[in-house]
A and B are shown apart, each in its own frame.
Chain A
């Protein structure tokens, strides 16, 4: 399952980040490493981007980026 398929109000853990280049590096830098807990907080009014909590801070990212993050729902 990938992060963009998660529904607001749910939590999941990162399995793997499968994104090349800048976006991949950025996600690593922001703490998307295997085992990281992610809570999906909300969708933007037009469903995209999504707002999540990771490592104690809030982050907005587009679904196109979220698609590259493989997760297991909790």
Chain B
């Protein structure tokens, strides 16, 4: 598309954290992730803008320090520039860090694509007392230079103009910059270029000087290009090998070293000519902050404090203030939906208890998520996350992880409350493939927001006196188990994965931008909402079908119908035929009255205050004065007593109780004979080892799709009627489980859930991030086995030694930490061994 004047492609390249995505967003109005942390953008992203009537497609490339083919990002960027042939490249350069950035500028220029520099972070450079002569710089590098301040949108239009100029009809001259690699290397390059130029394919496709340099650097991709396209591959490659060896022996350094040295020397010279230091650099604010934040003693304490506040703010602001406020609106919305649906029957139960309650149960976490993600985004954009990696690296490395594993683990919910999906996604910034894979495998073991309701439910029933302690134990044990798993994985099946050196830039701190932070938080929350809408709805339907069908047999249905009839007849007999209300309640009248009764009772429960009560009474009386007299215990609105109505009230109260009991029994039996019930009972012989009965099995199976289902499904199974709100479910379960469940049952279940496989949405993300179905399946199966072993151990061990649940929990923690210590030292040894051998 280079030649077409109607549309051009422009690539944004540059070193990590130089502000490419910020510039990209300003140019195109798109919303790329921006964070003060090197390596945020990993794949290329596209956006467009129009300038002077011409459409420009902008591609945001991943940040790279260089253009070798060692890392994924470098390959992505380089392949794009080589094969997509953009009309121009804009190199986004960090002005406060010019020398190192020029190193990449030279390499881009060598590829022979028309180029412009966006001299970004001018504000930072100025703060540091650097004065850059942009005209001189432009002359030195032989291309337009546009000063910009990305996060304030400064210089963006000038940049568009520059791009327009250099890409005019694809006829622009490429950069006139040509580096001199010195007397030792230049003749070699000339010889190579000449022999390459004999190959027509290569000569027309690539800049030969660039290719010659890459071959001398022993770049594997350059070798591949030659093998793919050249006719006399063997000749070229063998002469390259010869030249490299000769160079090494004559110069005492490898060609790649010599090339890098020349580039940095020239970069240094250019900086010397174009940049003036106006004031001596004092200790910057960043230095002073780091002195505290990275201090040996204060650093870890500060980090602990930050984490504490992160969760504290999330739970108090989010959990106690924002969430209840939002719940009110969710509840209102639910009532609206309930009002629209047909009053009873299958459709209502499917939509209301299956879908609406399932979705809303999760939407309840939305405010909490939003706040957690906002706080994390602030940390990321400030630059603190790189320091967290610095502080945590030594500890995590012993378990096969990496300093950069911290962020994914926090997102996944190290202490309590997170989501594995953004956690797994955040591993993208990690360059160390081995540590990255290990991190992906353990992030789902963290305590994501969806596991919390079950903990809370069970803890409130079975560990009333030790609620807070139990929750702490849960997070400690899951963290301990996750670290053990990480250690074991990295020493065994992940042993051979590629490991990268830990060389991490510490960006200067800056104030997070509001839009950037909000964007990021909303985006992560949105991921979660999308999952809710798609997967949960599907699962809710499936679970509902499995729980509802095949339904009761004819005989049993007849039995229940008969019971209902008998009860109704008894009721009619009790009020007597001569009762003036008898006619009113005959036939469908009784049903109508039943609904009236339920509605009135429900409304009455929800209101307080005398006036409101009076208003309610008036409303219902207006709707149906006869019915109202009954439900108001025989008193009309005028206060007159009616003894017939009172009699009906007393009789109906009994009938109502009886009908509700029958309904519950019918539902329970339906679940029992349903497909789900059969499945749950089928697993019972095995699952009983861990103390799970068939009802628990059903709930666990449904939670595989999304953990949030667990509580909802338990709600459906325990028949809490419509809308399993926490309190009623707790009492229903407490009642139902009083005889059969011990705290040990609850503990085993909590531990199993803590380690239970990631939900389907997370598995999909694991598939995306590892690029492998095998790893996805592994991530899905190992936690089941591990969880089952631990749950069984706890349940059987607790019984065997006659321990209480709390004692069992303490023993398990001790055991976990003993194993943790062993794995720590095993990991330590392998780290040391590696160091000695290198």
Q: Judging by beta carbons under 8 Å apart, are B506 and A58 in contact? A: yes
Q: Judging by beta carbons under 8 Å apart, are B97 and A46 in contact? A: no
Residue-wise, chain A 27-67 has the 8 Å CB interface mask toward B (1 for contact) of 11111011010000111111111010001111111111101
Q: Judging by beta carbons under 8 Å apart, are A62 and B502 in contact? A: yes
Residues of A within 8 A of B834 (CB): 64
Residues of B within 8 A of A43 (CB): 296
Q: Judging by beta carbons under 8 Å apart, are A44 and B393 in contact? A: yes
A1 within 8 A of B: no
Name the interface residues of B250-308: CB closer than 8 Å to any CB of A: 256-257, 260-261, 264-265, 286, 290, 294-297, 299-300
Residues of B within 8 A of A21 (CB): 70
The answer for the CA separation of A28 and B257 in the assembled complex, in Å, is 7
Residues of B within 8 A of A49 (CB): 390, 393-394, 403, 502, 504
| Minimum distance in angstroms from A21 CB to a CB of chain B | 8
Q: Judging by beta carbons under 8 Å apart, are A44 and B97 in contact? A: no
The answer for the CA separation of A17 and B503 in the assembled complex, in Å, is 14
A10 within 8 A of B: no
Number of B residues, CB within 8 Å of A: 46
Residues of B within 8 A of A51 (CB): 290, 294, 390, 506
B501 within 8 A of A: yes
The answer for the CA separation of A30 and B97 in the assembled complex, in Å, is 11
| Minimum distance in angstroms from B347 CB to a CB of chain A | 60
Q: Judging by beta carbons under 8 Å apart, are B506 and A65 in contact? A: no
- A31, A41, A64: the one contacting B835 at CB < 8 Å is A64
Residues of A within 8 A of B393 (CB): 44, 48-49, 60, 62
- B70, B100, B504: the one contacting A31 at CB < 8 Å is B100
Q: Judging by beta carbons under 8 Å apart, are A59 and B504 in contact? A: yes
| Minimum distance in angstroms from A49 CB to a CB of chain B | 6
The answer for the CA separation of A47 and B264 in the assembled complex, in Å, is 30
Q: Judging by beta carbons under 8 Å apart, are A42 and B294 in contact? A: yes
Residues of B within 8 A of A63 (CB): 835
The answer for the CA separation of A64 and B503 in the assembled complex, in Å, is 11
Q: Judging by beta carbons under 8 Å apart, are B70 and A46 in contact? A: no
B789 within 8 A of A: no
B68 within 8 A of A: yes
- A28, A46, A62: the one contacting B256 at CB < 8 Å is A28
B interface, over-half SS: helix
The answer for the CA separation of A45 and B395 in the assembled complex, in Å, is 10
| Minimum distance in angstroms from B632 CB to a CB of chain A | 71
Q: Judging by beta carbons under 8 Å apart, are B300 and A55 in contact? A: no
Q: Judging by beta carbons under 8 Å apart, are B500 and A29 in contact? A: no
Residues of B within 8 A of A44 (CB): 294, 296, 299, 390-391, 393-394
Q: Judging by beta carbons under 8 Å apart, are B70 and A26 in contact? A: yes
Q: Judging by beta carbons under 8 Å apart, are B65 and A29 in contact? A: yes
The answer for the CA separation of A34 and B260 in the assembled complex, in Å, is 10
| Minimum distance in angstroms from A26 CB to a CB of chain B | 5
Q: Judging by beta carbons under 8 Å apart, are A59 and B260 in contact? A: no
Q: Contacts A44-B394, A47-B394, A57-B100 known; A25 to B296 CB distance under 8 Å?
A: no
Residues of B within 8 A of A46 (CB): 394-395
Please, which residue of chain B has its CB at the minimum distance from the CB of A22? B70
Q: Judging by beta carbons under 8 Å apart, are B390 and A57 in contact? A: no
Residues of A within 8 A of B96 (CB): 56
Residues of B within 8 A of A34 (CB): 261
The answer for the CA separation of A64 and B97 in the assembled complex, in Å, is 26
Residues of B within 8 A of A61 (CB): 501-504
Residues of B within 8 A of A55 (CB): 97, 99-100
Q: Judging by beta carbons under 8 Å apart, are B503 and A27 in contact? A: yes
Residue-wise, chain B 45-71 has the 8 Å CB interface mask toward A (1 for contact) of 000000000000000000001101011
A73 within 8 A of B: no
Q: Judging by beta carbons under 8 Å apart, are A30 and B65 in contact? A: yes
Most buried by B among A36, A45, A51: A45
Q: Judging by beta carbons under 8 Å apart, are B505 and A65 in contact? A: no
- B100, B295, B391, B501: the one contacting A62 at CB < 8 Å is B501
| Minimum distance in angstroms from B69 CB to a CB of chain A | 10
Q: Contacts A28-B260, A34-B261, A60-B390 known; A68 to B838 CB distance under 8 Å?
A: yes
- B256, B502, B503: the one contacting A30 at CB < 8 Å is B503
| Minimum distance in angstroms from A46 CB to a CB of chain B | 4
The answer for the CA separation of A19 and B669 in the assembled complex, in Å, is 71
The answer for the CA separation of A31 and B265 in the assembled complex, in Å, is 10
B752 within 8 A of A: no
The answer for the CA separation of A23 and B260 in the assembled complex, in Å, is 14
Please, which residue of chain A has its CB at the minimum distance from the CB of B300? A45
The answer for the CA separation of A44 and B753 in the assembled complex, in Å, is 36
B528 within 8 A of A: no
The answer for the CA separation of A45 and B835 in the assembled complex, in Å, is 19
Q: Judging by beta carbons under 8 Å apart, are A33 and B261 in contact? A: yes
B103 within 8 A of A: yes
Q: Judging by beta carbons under 8 Å apart, are B503 and A65 in contact? A: yes
Please, which residue of chain B has its CB at the minimum distance from the CB of A42? B294
Q: Judging by beta carbons under 8 Å apart, are B504 and A48 in contact? A: no
- B257, B300, B391, B500: the one contacting A22 at CB < 8 Å is B500
- A25, A36, A58, A62: the one contacting B505 at CB < 8 Å is A58
The answer for the CA separation of A13 and B235 in the assembled complex, in Å, is 41
The answer for the CA separation of A24 and B65 in the assembled complex, in Å, is 13
Q: Judging by beta carbons under 8 Å apart, are A30 and B261 in contact? A: no
Residues of B within 8 A of A25 (CB): 66, 68, 70, 256
Q: Judging by beta carbons under 8 Å apart, are B503 and A26 in contact? A: yes
Q: Judging by beta carbons under 8 Å apart, are A23 and B99 in contact? A: no
Residues of A within 8 A of B265 (CB): 33
Residues of A within 8 A of B507 (CB): 58
Q: Contacts A57-B97, A59-B506 known; A29 to B300 CB distance under 8 Å?
A: no
| Minimum distance in angstroms from A2 CB to a CB of chain B | 12
Residues of B within 8 A of A30 (CB): 65, 100, 503
The answer for the CA separation of A41 and B286 in the assembled complex, in Å, is 13
The answer for the CA separation of A43 and B261 in the assembled complex, in Å, is 28
- A31, A56, A67: the one contacting B838 at CB < 8 Å is A67
Q: Judging by beta carbons under 8 Å apart, are A31 and B264 in contact? A: yes
Most buried by A among B97, B261, B391, B501: B501
The answer for the CA separation of A26 and B103 in the assembled complex, in Å, is 12
Please, which residue of chain B has its CB at the minimum distance from the CB of A48? B394
* Apart from A45-B300, A49-B394, A62-B501, 19 more pairs, CB < 8 Å: A21-B70, A22-B71, A25-B68, A26-B65, A29-B66, A30-B65, A30-B503, A31-B103, A33-B265, A44-B294, A44-B390, A57-B100, A57-B505, A58-B286, A60-B386, A64-B834, A65-B501, A67-B835, A67-B838
List 7 interface pairs A-B (beta carbons < 8 Å), by A numbering. Answer: A22-B71, A23-B501, A44-B393, A49-B394, A55-B99, A56-B97, A64-B838
List 6 A-B pairs, minimum CB-CB distance, nearest first: A46-B394, A23-B501, A28-B260, A58-B506, A29-B66, A62-B502
Which B residues fall within an 8 A CB radius of A? 65-66, 68, 70-71, 96-97, 99-100, 103, 256-257, 260-261, 264-265, 286, 290, 294-297, 299-300, 386, 389-391, 393-395, 397, 403, 500-508, 831, 834-835, 838
